[in-house]
Amino acid sequence: MRSPAIMKRISLLLLVALLFSFSPAFAADDKAIVRFGDLHGEVNVRPNSEDDDAYIFAELKTPLKHDDRIKTLPKSGAILSFSDMSTFVMKEDSVIVLDIANEKNTKIGLVAGNIWVNLKKMVADGSMEIEMSQAVAGLKGTNITCSTRGGEDRIQVLRGIASVLIKQTQQRIEVKEGEELIVKSGGKTEKIEIDVAAEQKKWAEALSRLGEEIQMNEIPDALRGILDSEGSEFARINEIFRRLIAMERVDPESVMEIRMVAERFVGVLLEDALILASIRRKVDAALQAPDITAANRVMLAGHLKNVAAVMARQQGYQAEIAKIMRYQFKTSSVTEDISAELEMLRTELAQATADVDAVRAVLSASPAGQTQDWFKDSTQACAAALSALDQLQQKVSELLSRNPTSVELQAILKRIADQRNSIATMIRSLAVVEIDSATITEFSQIDDVISNQMVVLQNEIAAFNSLGGATLPEKEKRFVSSVKVLDNFAKVRRLYLKAQRLYQTTMKAASGAKFRTAEMEEIEQTWQNISDRFQQLGAVSTELESNIADLESQLSTYLK
């Protein structure tokens, strides 16, 4: 039987072989470390050592060298493709400086703006860093965003892990998936949780340009290239995985490395999926051309079929990679029997989110019409759940520190993080403007008064309509009756205007709320009743004012 030391050495050698097999994939005759993958708008390049007069207009074929400064102007952007298959996406008004003297130790200086980074491969003993004004982000994971503006740096981890060095204090902070680290001048830091899906959407437009440079006649080669590169990388990962699971014991370092490599392959699949989506949009647009020939239609239909086939293959890879990342290896370290603790943690997680699940069920159905008290109680339930999840997260982290290869504990931590993000979003949506009972009562009273006045006015109008005759006393009596009706209408109008101001103030305050409470709907319905009644009275008042004018004219004739 092989000794544990020999087994550890074998497993590490296998991983080293795998990592070295991820060789640069540009082209045999292309030794560039980085080049432009896409450009739009105006992008400029100059040596960092020169002034702005040295800037030149960048094109796709513009070579990029060590210490080059790249600047995107408003409504512009750039995609950089690295030889290690990493991808950088620059948004508008961004400036970076390339530190690529050593291919294995790449550093990008982010001077201003925003970048999105997808680290898909890394050669053995290599590193990738993003240096900003206050911090340096070292990429351990696969997908992060970095921004710097006004002396404040922000690092978001969308997938994987980043190790951030604070320049002022030399403190190193680990930022995990779903977290954002804010670094301010003086080394002050703040870590907050983010909604990964929402943050990815902010980059959707910029990322949609991945694959834009692929021409129609290049699509077959591009699809073959994606199939070949994904297939060969998955085969390598799977080969190492099969060898590791065949071993009697695997050291924890090897387990962590294979999972990191697998996670980077997920980054490959993600980016290739964006390229495939771009190709499909291009083909779909070509199919809509009014003058398309039959031969071209057949060719384009073939492209769509091939794109679908590549996507199907990707789904298969994703399923297999997920199994590799979840697999619990037989490690050489002594592990605890934590089955009882796992069951208890799962139970605590379910209990911590039970009330939130009830709130979520109402929100997913139709929360409109729920009372203000329900929204208040639901917010409190969410806050209590977050507190319980914080305690549970600490408990799971402590247990994971003793069992670092436990897939179950890692999965529970992921579920806790997902729940925290979901609940934080839910709390924001539950924020409603409370309408005090005095406002509701006042509205109801105005409605009652106008309703009563409606009856009085209807009676007065009926009495007015019953008056007739052409004599002077009869006309005077009719005139007095109409004036009385209009006087009562003026009182009602003042109440209506008061209700209108109250309604507008209340609705303006509540305009930012996502959901409508029962109290808001009550105010809305009461206002609708008041408005409808007043509109009816308004029509009568207009007619009465016309009659009064006629009566005044007739009376003036008699009185002369």
What's the topology of domain 4-18+210-326? Answer: Methane Monooxygenase Hydroxylase; Chain G, domain 1 (1.20.58)
- At residue 504's C-alpha, the angle toward residues 501 and 509, to 5°, is 125
* Selection from 43, 62, 74, 36 nearest residue 212 by Cα: 36
* Selection from 228, 230, 231, 258 nearest residue 243 by Cα: 258
| CA atoms within a 13 Å half-sphere pointing along the CA-CB vector of 124 | 11
Q: With contact defined as beta carbons under 8 Å apart, do 429 and 515 qualify? A: yes
Q: With contact defined as beta carbons under 8 Å apart, do 410 and 400 qualify? A: yes
| CA atoms within a 13 Å half-sphere pointing along the CA-CB vector of 394 | 5
Q: With contact defined as beta carbons under 8 Å apart, do 207 and 181 qualify? A: no
At a CB cut-off of 8 Å and minimum separation 6, what does 230 contact? 268, 269, 272, 313, 314, 317
Q: What is the pLDDT at residue 89?
A: 93
Q: What is the pLDDT at residue 469?
A: 63
Strand-pair category, 105-118 with 127-131: parallel
Q: Tell me the C-alpha distance between 153 and 144, whole Å.
A: 13
Six-digit token string for 420 = 């925290």
Instruction: Look at domain 32-198 and name its CATH class.
Output: mainly beta
Angle, helices 472-509 vs 437-466, to 10°: value is: 160
pTM of the model: 0.51
Query: Within a 10 A sphere around the Cβ of 491, how many other Cβ atoms?
Result: 14
Q: With contact defined as beta carbons under 8 Å apart, do 92 and 76 qualify? A: yes
- Number of helices and strands (H, E) in the chain? 13, 16
Q: How far is CA 346 from CA 322, 358, 359, 399, in A?
A: 21, 18, 20, 13
Q: With contact defined as beta carbons under 8 Å apart, do 18 and 237 qualify? A: yes
Q: With contact defined as beta carbons under 8 Å apart, do 235 and 316 qualify? A: no
Q: What is the pLDDT at residue 368?
A: 66
At a CB cut-off of 8 Å and minimum separation 6, what does 531 contact? 496
Q: What is the mean pLDDT of each run of 10 residues along the chain (560 residues)?
A: 44 42 40 85 93 92 94 94 83 94 84 88 64 88 85 90 89 89 91 88 84 86 89 91 84 81 82 88 89 88 90 89 82 63 87 84 70 87 92 90 82 89 86 81 81 74 68 69 72 81 81 77 82 71 59 51
Q: What is the pLDDT at residue 363?
A: 75
Q: Tell me the C-alpha distance between 218 and 279, whole Å.
A: 10
Q: Tell me the C-alpha distance between 267 and 65, whole Å.
A: 26
* Selection from 150, 131, 123 nearest residue 264 by Cα: 123
Residues in the chain: 560
Q: With contact defined as beta carbons under 8 Å apart, do 99 and 67 qualify? A: yes
Q: Tell me the C-alpha distance between 438 and 523, whole Å.
A: 12
* Selection from 193, 213, 208, 206 nearest residue 94 by Cα: 206
Paired with 89 in beta bridges are 79, 116
- At residue 433's C-alpha, the angle toward residues 429 and 437, to 5°, is 140
Q: DSSP secondary-structure letter at 209?
A: T
| CA atoms within a 13 Å half-sphere pointing along the CA-CB vector of 507 | 13
Paired with 164 in beta bridges are 137, 173
Instruction: Kindly tell me the sign of the dihedral angle through the C-alpha atoms of 453, 458, 464, 466.
Output: negative
Q: What is the pLDDT at residue 64?
A: 93
Strand-pair category, 135-139 with 161-166: antiparallel
Six-digit token string for 119 = 């680290």
> Coil, helix or strand for 49?
coil
Q: Give domain 437-559's CATH architecture.
A: Up-down Bundle (1.20)
Sequence letter at residue 407: V
